[in-house]
Amino acid sequence: MSPLARISSAFAPRFAEFAFEPAFTAAVDQHVAEIRERLEAGGGPGLVPRQPHREHLADYALGFLDALDELDWREPVGHDYAVCRLTAISWLVERHSLLEENPENPENTGG
């Protein structure tokens, strides 16, 4: 399973928490913005953020997961930095359908 698929299956269920956890929602939104900036997918025409390249996001996610493994991180009940970051990655994957193959959309494959 790809890093993006692993993260999405584990953290997409946390999207339900957005409805009753406004601080978590705001934190994830900030993480999404930071990830976009790191991947240079920040601004597009009309201030609409561009879609991140799937491979760039996957590489970033894999590095983040490796760092968490080195720290022997375990998912807490609440919302620590890693939970917010992983939920943000999952949100980007979901928002841009990055797990789906779409030959008409070169951004999906990084092409």
What digits encode the pLDDT tens for the residues 19-28?
999 999 999 9
The number of folded domains in the chain is 1
- Per-residue pLDDT at 103: 42
Q: In the chain, which residues have pLDDT < 70?
A: 41-47, 101-111
- Per-residue pLDDT at 43: 62
Q: pTM to 2 decimals? A: 0.86
- Per-residue pLDDT at 51: 87
Q: What is the domain extent for residue 28? A: 3-109
- Per-residue pLDDT at 111: 42
- Per-residue pLDDT at 85: 98
**What are the tokens at 11?**
């953290």
